[in-house]
């Protein structure tokens, strides 16, 4: 290990898990206080505090900018916002319907929203492909394929992304079937 006094601010951040804590944007702190204590690194961290703070602030700003750019790309997918608004409205209605049975048994609930998701799927295939990839990302074993598909969709190659997702899901189904067949009598 390098001598603590000769470590750069980047090395100190990495070694001692230095962060800017949420809710206290004016200070830095370590996620490894025992390590700092054991190695006597407090003085080195204090000496580089301003530089460490500036590095962490710059990283956070870069992450926020990347997040905003990503959101803008997602929202630029034709029909994405419209389809998501329809899904959220349906979910909200279902919650309202279920909650109504706690007191009045379905009375007083607004009429069910009417969306033609089949037509929307034909009109906005890119949006549905991205939503499918978002759902796929939650499935164990398919996270990487889903992230790659989302990236392909954002870059305009949604047909290839759908093809890749179909292949990955088919492989996953075969794996599940093999596992279930091999453990049927366990």
Domain ranges of the chain: 4-73, 78-182
Q: How far apart are CA 153 and CA 137, in angstroms?
A: 14
pLDDT value of residue 1: 59
Cβ of 7: how many Cβ atoms within 10 Å?
A: 19
- Which residue's structure tokens are 């500036």? 54
DSSP 36-63: HHHHT-HHHHHHTHHHHHHHHHHHHHHH
pTM: 0.74
Q: How far apart are CA 10 and CA 48, in angstroms?
A: 10
Q: How far apart are CA 143 and CA 131, in angstroms?
A: 14
* Torsional sign, CA 113, 121, 162, 151: negative
Structure tokens at 11: 């090395």
Q: What are the per-10-residue average pLDDT scores of the chain (186 residues)?
A: 84 93 86 92 92 94 95 95 96 90 78 94 96 91 92 94 94 90 84
pLDDT value of residue 19: 94
């Amino acid at each position: 290990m390098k001598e603590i006094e000769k470590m750069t601010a980047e090395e100190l951040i990495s070694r001692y898990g230095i962060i800017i804590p949420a809710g206290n944007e004016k200070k830095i702190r370590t996620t490894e206080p025992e390590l700092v204590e054991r190695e006597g690194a407090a003085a080195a961290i204090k000496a580089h505090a301003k530089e460490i703070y500036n590095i962490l602030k710059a990283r956070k700003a870069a992450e926020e900018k990347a997040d905003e750019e990503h959101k803008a790309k997602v929202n630029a997918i034709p029909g994405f916002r419209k389809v998501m608004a329809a899904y959220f409205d349906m979910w909200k209605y279902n919650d309202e319907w279920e909650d109504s049975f706690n007191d009045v048994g379905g009375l007083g609930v607004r009429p069910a929203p009417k969306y033609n998701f089949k037509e929307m799927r034909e009109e906005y295939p890119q949006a549905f492909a991205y939503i499918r990839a978002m759902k796929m990302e939650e499935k164990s074993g398919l996270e990487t394929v889903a992230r790659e598909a989302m990236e392909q969709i954002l870059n305009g190659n949604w047909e290839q992304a759908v093809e890749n997702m179909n292949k990955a899901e088919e492989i996953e189904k075969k794996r599940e079937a093999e596992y279930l067949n091999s453990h049927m009598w366990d």
